[in-house]
Structure 1
Amino acid sequence: MSHSHDHHHHDHHEGTVLSEVELRVRALESVLVEKGYVDPAALDILIETYETKVGPHNGARVVAKAWSDPAYLEWLRKDATAAIASLGYSGRQGEHIVAVENTPLVHNMVVCTLCSCYPWSVLGLPPVWYKSAPYRSRAVLDPRGVLRDFGIELAPEKQIRVWDSTAEIRYLVIPERPAGTEDWAEADLAKLVTRDSMIGTGFAKAPAEVSR
């Protein structure tokens, strides 16, 4: 099966042109609001919260702390849910989280084969491609090929572990810390952490890509 995960184009649309998915979402929102099932103000607040205030920012702070604080990293390994909650991040689809670490020998990748379980409290709203059937099936059958679609080429000897989220467990990938950041503060390290790197379909940014 051939499928291109051009995730950059899912999230950005020029002008006022809406994708088919966005049109469906807006149509559904209109029906729910019209029938009185949903308060439009509450809906706007929910979407804004997970799109802009949460986004991947919470997860980036968790990763940055894990990179710079060995004791916190050990806590994440033992009980990620509690370690993440200690930073104030818990709630919707984030009740039980397991942290998995990328290393020079292992690359971790997350999928939800049955639906689209996703740790909203640390990553915000799930990207469109994460919910797609091609990603959900190919991530298990051909993870190396899926990563290649995302522009990630791994060495043949590097093992790929695919974690399947469930209704009970969400996963957060701790990407490898970029070289040359040994003296960076946590706030600067967080700028290197991308949403895709915490799903396992990307890497953290290189130091040259951000301003400190």
Structure 2
Amino acid sequence: MTDHDHDHDHDHARTVAPMVDEITDFEVLEIALRELCIEKGIFSADEHRRFTEFAEQIGPAPAAHLVARAWLDPDFKELALAEPMTASREVGVDWLEPTGFGTPSDFTAFEILEDTPTLHNVIVCALCSCYPRPILGNSPEWYRTPNYRRRMVRWPRQVLSEFGLELPEGVAVRVQDSNQKHRFMVMPMRPEGTNGWDEDRLAEIITRDCLIGVALPKPGRTANVITDTRPAVHPVD
């Protein structure tokens, strides 16, 4: 073999190295903990698969229908505010599923926060990323970032403005901090221009961001996508 051939083989070996996505420390921890739980018989691999499939298919549609139904039915609204777990089952969400006893991170006290003409609610988890997943689905990436978590509790109006939500001075902002024992969801006010709409049509404009409190429902806005935000400019100390 010539020196040229040796160099060529060496270069080829570098270019065909297997491409493996980088794995985070959290993913390593999850894999280790999952395998240990399966080994100890806490749950089986099949049970883990079924729960993973369940978690991946949930989304904010049930919550949107809950709010839309509350807008249309005063009795259901009263139920939703007084017994939100019962109201959740009315729109197809049983917080005990799929395990039959809930999960440590999700089966907790649940409260629906009602917006009024003088009060706007927004949810956050200042400590980590607690979120009502059974009824809202998986949390958006920005909700889990330290930037959102630490700034929302200090400068809520500025952060809301970065989502494009400018509230009048006469509207107070209440930031509700989720934790291990409590989960929250916002019930925004019904917007003007929706008279005569049925539940399905109303539910289309109640996006995930509205249910978190960083947006307001508006006719014509139906996309449940991560809202584009602009950078903060000179946060108030």
Same fold, TM-score > 0.5, yes or no: yes
RMSD: 2.8
Tell me how far 1:178 sits from its aligned partner.
1.8
- Corresponding residue for residue 157 of structure 1: 170
TM-score by length of 1: 0.76
Q: 2 CA distance for matches of 1:125 and 1:113?
A: 17
Tell me how far 1:112 sits from its aligned partner.
1.2
Residue 49 of structure 1 aligns to which amino acid in structure 2?
F
Q: Gapped runs of 5+ residues in structure 1?
A: 1-18
TM-score by length of 2: 0.69
Against the structure 1 CA distance between its residues 36 and 190, is the aligned structure 2 distance closer, same or farther, given a 3 Å change threshold?
same
- Corresponding residue for residue 14 of structure 1: none
Tell me how far 1:95 sits from its aligned partner.
3.5
Residues 7-46 of structure 1 aligned to structure 2 (within 5 Å): 24=24, 28=28, 31=31, 46=51
Tell me how far 1:102 sits from its aligned partner.
1.4
1:94-146 per-residue CA deviation (whole Å, 9 max, x = no partner) reads 54211111122111000111221111111001111111112111111111111
1:48-102 per-residue CA deviation (whole Å, 9 max, x = no partner) reads 53344x2111111111111111101011121212222333313251542111111
- Is contact 1:33-1:40 (8 Å) kept? no
Q: Gapped runs of 5+ residues in structure 2?
A: 1-20, 39-43, 96-102, 223-237
Q: 2 CA distance for matches of 1:158 and 1:28?
A: 45
Q: 1 CA distance for matches of 2:186 and 2:74?
A: 16
| Larger RCO, structure (CA 8 Å, separation 6 or more) | 1
Q: 2 CA distance for matches of 1:44 and 1:25?
A: 21
Residues 68-83 of structure 1 aligned to structure 2 (within 5 Å): 68-83=72-87
Residues 1-212 of structure 1 aligned to structure 2 (within 5 Å): 24=24, 28=28, 31=31, 46-52=51-57, 54-91=58-95, 92=103, 93-204=106-217, 206-209=218-221
For structure 1, which segment, 73-82 or 43-52, has the greater mean C-alpha deviation from structure 2 after superposition?
Answer: 43-52
Residue 119 of structure 1 aligns to which amino acid in structure 2?
P
1:207 counterpart SS class:
coil
- Is contact 1:106-1:161 (8 Å) kept? yes
- Is contact 2:108-2:180 (8 Å) kept? no
Structure with max Cα Rg: 2
